[in-house]
Amino acid sequence: MIGGRWPIASCVAVVMACSREPAPSVRLPEPLPPTPVTLLAGDSLYVMHCQSCHGRHALGTDLGPPLVHSVYAPRHHADAAFVLAVRNGVRAHHWTFGDMQPVPLVTSAQVESLTAYVRWLQMQAGIH
Ligand code: HEC
């Protein structure tokens, strides 16, 4: 049934397009030290709202880029970029994953908290 195969073929094409992206050049230590107590709230918020696309420990998935990446170091994307991304969404420009939709459930204070967690992960990877 050739007609039925088309959707599968296009999914494979999307996955291949994503995997053409350069692998993240950064690594987290194994094992990762436990999340500092002051960042546990940010850790949970990240897992709840961001991990499905940005991946466990922000290392990326087929749906979204790693945030533990030099592109997202503070000197390239200040904390305000996280607030704007969550509030307004992101038009695809760095990668081929597509646009990020706004995440309206997450408040600015919560973004601040989860950004601190992502910054800590970046620090563990030696990005800053
Ligand atoms: C449904 C998937 C999805 C979810 C959920 C998601 N993102 Fe994203 N995000 C993306 C994609 C895709 C991009 C890359 C867009 C591009 O090509 O630059 C992105 C980009 C970003 C960027 C870069 C913004 C910029 O200025 O370039 C930040 C910061 C970000 N996301 C933070 C978050 C945070 C924080 C959360 C959780 C509250 C989150 N994202 C949830 C898909 C997602």
Model pLDDT for residues 15-66, shown as the tens digit of each residue = 444 444 545 568 899 999 999 999 999 999 999 999 999 999 999 999 999 9
Give me the mean pLDDT over the 88-109 stretch: 97
Atom 23 of ligand 1, nearest CA residue: 85
pTM assigned to the model: 0.86
Atom 15 of ligand 1, nearest CA residue: 92
- How far apart (Å, rounded) are the C-alpha atoms in residues 38 and 75? 23
Percent of the residues in the chain that have a pLDDT greater than 90, as a whole number: 79
| Four-residue CA torsion sign, 29, 118, 69, 97 | positive
Would the pLDDT of 126 be above 60?
A: yes
Ligand 1 pocket check for 95: Cβ under 6 Å: yes
Rg value, the chain, Cα = 16
Provide the pLDDT for residue 25.
64
Give me the mean pLDDT over the 62-73 stretch: 96
* 106 Cα nearest atom in ligand 1: 38
In angstroms, the Cα distances linking 103 to 29, 30, 46, 50, 91 are 30, 31, 12, 9, 14
**Which domains are assigned to the chain?**
2-124 (1.10.760)
As given in the structure block, the two tokens for residue 101 are 């939709």
